[in-house]
């Protein structure tokens, strides 16, 4: 299902979870340059990084943050890993941003869910650098593909820069990290992430060979629709995902 929808439902119900953003990844690790996962206080993952080893590290780091309370300040963590997989020596470095759901807030999560539900796109801008002028609530904003902005960074020049670069990020469909020179002379690291609709795979016919196809497509990030005029072949019991 939709990770942002799951996050919003948990926030509405008083659940405890953390949103983890893969800010950057270098080396032999099968993840994209940016991605997000939701980790519940029970250790359940919504979303995958593409690496079981990295998923386990992400779960552990998120649980460590959540153990300090629901309103714990966000954390930036750099993980360096040496591993042997399939007989090959692998080494990677991954930077994670770990935030409580309270840090995201209802307004932003609702806007992210709306993008997914309507098939629209947007760019999420997040200030990574800790700075007194950009406290919680003023360091994340969403620029939608129609030009509207959800959230505020508290500075018109910075928001204009996010608006402009956000359109370029959507065209490239790749996240970037930008340096922004603030008015007080400091330099801020700014993460710009494209928020793209989940691709849909329509499968016509729900016969026995379709089940492994649906599982594989779901793991690959597709939202799968199975279409069959016989309800015995297309129903939630056969295809729970």
pLDDT tens series, the chain, 241 aa: 478 999 999 999 988 999 999 998 887 766 654 589 999 999 999 888 877 888 899 999 999 999 988 788 899 999 887 766 555 666 788 999 999 988 888 999 999 999 988 889 999 999 999 999 898 888 999 999 998 999 999 889 999 999 999 999 999 988 999 999 988 899 999 999 999 877 777 888 777 777 787 777 776 667 777 877 777 667 666 656 6
Which residues make Cβ contacts (< 8 Å) with residue 113, sequence separation at least 6?
2, 4, 5, 8
Q: What pLDDT was estimated at residue 58? A: 92
According to the model, what pLDDT value does residue 33 have? 43
Q: Full-prediction pTM beyond 0.85? A: no
Q: Which of 39, 35, 36 is nearest to 16 (CA)?
A: 39
């Amino acid at each position: 299902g939709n990770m942002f929808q799951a996050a919003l439902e948990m926030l509405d119900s008083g659940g405890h979870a953390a949103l983890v953003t893969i800010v950057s990844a270098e080396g032999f690790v099968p993840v994209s340059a940016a991605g997000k996962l939701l980790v519940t206080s029970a250790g359940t993952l919504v979303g995958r990084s593409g690496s079981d080893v990295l998923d386990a590290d992400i779960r552990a780091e998120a649980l460590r943050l959540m153990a300090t309370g629901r309103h714990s300040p966000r954390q930036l963590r750099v993980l360096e890993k040496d591993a042997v997989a399939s007989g090959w020596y692998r080494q990677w470095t991954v930077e994670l941003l770990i935030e409580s759901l309270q840090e995201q807030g209802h307004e932003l999560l609702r806007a992210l869910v709306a993008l997914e539900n309507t098939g629209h796109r947007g760019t999420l801008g997040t200030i990574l650098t800790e700075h007194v002028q950009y406290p919680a609530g003023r360091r994340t904003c969403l620029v939608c593909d129609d030009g509207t902005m959800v959230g505020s960074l508290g500075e018109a020049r910075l928001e204009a820069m996010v608006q402009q670069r956000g359109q370029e990020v959507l065209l490239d469909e790749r996240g970037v990290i930008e340096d922004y020179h603030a008015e007080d002379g400091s330099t801020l690291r700014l993460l710009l992430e494209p928020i793209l609709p989940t691709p849909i795979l329509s499968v016509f016919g729900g016969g026995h060979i379709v089940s492994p196809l649906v599982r594989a497509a779901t793991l690959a990030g597709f939202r799968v629709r199975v279409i069959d005029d016989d309800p015995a072949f297309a129903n939630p019991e056969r295809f729970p995902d």
